[in-house]
Chain A
Amino acid sequence: MDPFELKLKNALTRNEPIAPAELAALNDNIVKSFARKQRGFHRLLAVYLAVMCLLIFALMALFMATSDLKMCLLFAVVIVILFEGTALMKLWFWVMHSKIATLREIKLLQLAVAELKTQASTGAQTTAPALPDDADESAAASTPTEPSKGRLRRAFLIVAWLLAVPALVYFGWRQTPCPPQDVTTYLERANSAADAAQWQQSFTVTQARQHFYPQLLTGGKPARAWISVAAENHEPMYTGPVDTESIIGFGQAAPGRYVVKGRTEQAGGNFTLRIGGVDEVPGTPSPGQSFLRLFFLMLSAAATVVIPLVWLQNRWIRHIDPEPQRW
């Protein structure tokens, strides 16, 4: 450097320091912006995960509720894509933090080596260099308020979880009209899937009930039969379909002889048509009720299984990597 350059350097490096209060205000604004952005980012991730999970549950409920094969395939594909979306997001987050944690370890080692070098060159007594951030963390961890805060939070979450699971089960259960329990059976007829021809059978009612109550017992497979029930030498009192899950009632089950004509419309295997008598019929669940019932039941299943699993997973991660990190 020539004398002019030295003069220039001296002139430029000597600046009047800005007023501390002004500087502090400027710093605070910037740090607040950073904290705001971090909070926004974490909220965005939480909302993204929540939306993805809700969509997955909703689609699973639709998947279970629909009987159309093409729609089932569509729902399954979308569920897989959404599931991959959540898994990839979590994987990206984990990889990013692992990378930063590894780099941090390397930098801490470099710092230790640099400090030892400095001490060796100055001839000072060799001691382990202080690693600034670790000291802060251990100090923060040893403060007495932290564990009690954690315990309170954990207790609150456990209570919330214990309340959430039965609440979800209850809401799911409420969507289902309970099928009648006290049924007097008048007729049971076994049908095979190949039994497409129309059939006819008569039965006698000895114990009077308020309504007839037809059921298809299929062992879970969807089936549909078309029946027509009439008192002997009378007009039919019901002509229409009976589905696997339908809860319908018709007419009055008065004592006497009755004739039922039937035709199988759809069957995945053998099934039994039962015609019984009940005093009260709550009605067939609507598609919306079926969907909501499955949705709430799946949410309750998730709350029962997934939340404890995630909690255990996080505990395990903390166990294998004790560095305090924001997973």
Chain B
Amino acid sequence: MDRSDSIQDDLLVLQCQQGDAGCFDRLVRRWQQPLLNYAYRVTGDWAVAQDIVQETWLAVIRGLITLKDVAYFRTWLYRIASHKCQDHWRRKQTRQGFAEELQKQPLATGAPPNAERADIDASFRRLPPDSRTVLALMYLEDFSIGEIAGLLSLPEGTVKSRLFHARQQLRQLLEKDYGPV
């Protein structure tokens, strides 16, 4: 995203803060797909991802007027989405143990069009939610370490160590299921 895009986003957010529904429509269209992709990566389920994105936008509608610096809209948006994902996992954990959930995660399925990608997808879905979140924010959404730290309310060191462990876990899973990476 270049500088002009970022400023145009800021302008859209400002218009939305003034109550312009047309601009909000444009803002939603602009961020809907990236948010869905992120939520899908973290939850591994399109239906859940859609629910999470809808809840995220409802929270945005409620809190948009309180956003002081529009330049942080993207970070704020993903922060809300991350919290919604965490809420989802928490709710799910109360219903069934996490270990059981891991058991249920599918391994490599069928004959994918791109085998390497499918391998990574399947192994990625078997990672714990925290690891998925940091990896998705880092490699899918291109957030910096500092931004991820701010977004998840964690120290930068913790984010770095989580990223390191998440990569290690993913590498191990891939090697275990599909051979050397």
A residues adjacent to B (C-beta < 8 A):
4-5, 7-15, 17-18, 22-23, 26-27, 29-31, 33-35, 37-38, 41-42, 96-97, 100-101, 103-104, 107-108, 110-111, 114-115, 117-118, 132-133, 325-326
Contact = CB atoms under 8 A, between A and B. Distances in A.
Interface pairs A-B: 5 shortest CB-CB: A11-B120, A9-B139, A30-B57, A111-B7, A114-B3
Contacts of A103: 14, 70
B124 interface: yes
A44 B116 CA distance: 56
A17 B33 contact: yes
Interface in B14-57: 14-19, 21, 23-25, 28-29, 32-33, 36-37, 40-41, 46, 50, 53-54, 57
Contact of B25 (A11, A27, A118): A27
A contact patch SS: helix
A115 B5 CA distance: 10
Max chain B Cβ within 10 angstroms of own Cβ: one of A103, A115, A325: A103
B58 interface: yes
Interface residues on B, range: 35 or more
Interface of B: 2-4, 7-8, 10-11, 14-19, 21, 23-25, 28-29, 32-33, 36-37, 40-41, 46, 50, 53-54, 57-58, 61-62, 65, 70, 114, 116-117, 120-121, 124, 135-136, 139-140, 167, 170-171, 181
A34 B21 contact: yes
6 contacts: A4-B171, A5-B167, A23-B33, A38-B19, A111-B8, A326-B18
Given A5-B167, A31-B24, A12 B124 contact: yes
Nearest to A6: B139
A202 B2 CA distance: 101
A325 B18 contact: yes
Contacts of A11: 116-117, 120-121, 124
Contacts of A29: 54
A110 B7 contact: yes
Contacts of B18: 97, 100-101, 325-326
